Structure 1
Amino acid sequence: MTATHINKVVYPGKLSELFYFAYGSNMNERQLASRGIKPSSIITARLPGHRVGFFGYSRVWDGGMETIVPEPRADVWGVLCQLSFEDGEVLDVWQDVRQDGGGVYFHYPATVIDAGGREHLVLLYKKDILGVPRPPSREYLDFIVEGALGRGLPEAYITGLRQTESIAAGYPVPRRKHFNREFLLVGCRGGCGGG
């Protein structure tokens, strides 16, 4: 097996694939499908030494947005998705990841452990600027829990997610974007100006 170097991170396997760890709303099959993203494989895994936290504000869900934060004696459970680079680019646009680092999230390399104890080097989305913790909307939290249930995450972990403080959204959520992000991505593949 060959190793591929991408942004100074070594990935085993072919250059045409990306290994991504979803721990929040992207665990939900409905969300990935609505964005046209089709992982070629999905397995459950855990990220040791972290917990899920909610910070910032999402207009889509009217509440805090998920990210990971260090927590020595905790694990974040989620799913390891094998994506094509094209699907990875589409997901980056939806998550507002930018090459200049000015987006809401950035690519964070990490090592996750699957149910068989095997380690996998992956990318995940992490917020750069946290600020004050902010509860997610109850609807957003329920959507994350739905994804965790659908992916067969451990019951104790799901119970912990359900106990996360949340608030009712003040308007119908999710609020859809008013433009086609995939169009923007396709339009910039040839190279967009910075700024």
Structure 2
Amino acid sequence: MSLYAAYGSNMDPAQMRQRCPSSPAAGVGWIRGWRLTFGGEEHGWEGALATIVPDEVGVVFVALYDIAHKDAENLDEWESVPTGLYERIKLHVHTLEGADVAAWAYVLNAYEGGLPSARYLGVLADAAEVAGAPDDYVAGLRNRPCNSI
């Protein structure tokens, strides 16, 4: 098993139970030095897709999951890793318990830019709220610019 840092809709425990039934939640935390952004509008769900990029002052709230090998393969399919849309990277997560742990996350293999749909942004904000993100973080997601689709 290995730690996966979910920052998008996979923060929602119900969704993760469907996609990765053998992989329990393992806490929450922050990826420091990165920020949430959007890109790959031409590949997206009614708009640009969520990703993270390095940013010296950025922080991204994440839900951690202890991913079983068989679930990792399934999750790669969901995230379009075989097509090259997303790829896995290793990074450090600062947990709310104060530990720094190594985890992997998916990053978009496309240029940054474009707007997510209002519906997609709502899904991300709802997932962050369910995962326990602070109110100001969730509000920041809900108030991001988006297209009206």
TM-score (norm 1): 0.71
1:79-90 alignment to 2 at 5 Å? 79-90=63-74
Structure 2 stretches of 5 or more lacking a match?
Answer: none
Q: Structure 1 regions of 5+ residues with no counterpart?
A: 1-16, 170-195
Bigger Cα Rg: 1
Matched-pair identity in %: 29
Structure 1 runs (4+) deviating above 3 angstroms are none
Residue 29 (structure 2) aligned to one of 25, 45, 60: 45
Which amino acid counterpart does residue 84 of structure 1 have in structure 2? A
- Which of 58, 72, 96 pairs up with 1:115? 96
Supply the RMSD in Å over aligned alpha carbons: 1.7
Preserved CA contact (<8 Å) 2:46 2:116: yes
Counterpart residue number, 2:110: 129
Which structure exhibits the higher relative contact order, with contacts defined as CA atoms closer than 8 Å and separated by 6 or more residues?
A: 2
One-letter amino acid of the structure 2 residue matched with residue 120 of structure 1: V
Distance in 2 separating the partners of 1:72 and 1:59: 28
Alpha-carbon distance in 1 for matches of 2:56, 2:20: 36
- Residues 1:55 and 2:39 aligned together: yes
Count of residues paired in the alignment: 149
Q: Which residue of 1 aligns with 2:134?
A: 154
Return the structure number with greater helix share.
2
- SS of equivalent residue, structure 1 residue 88: helix
User: In 2, are the aligned partners of 1:106 and 1:126 still within 8 Å (CA)?
Assistant: yes
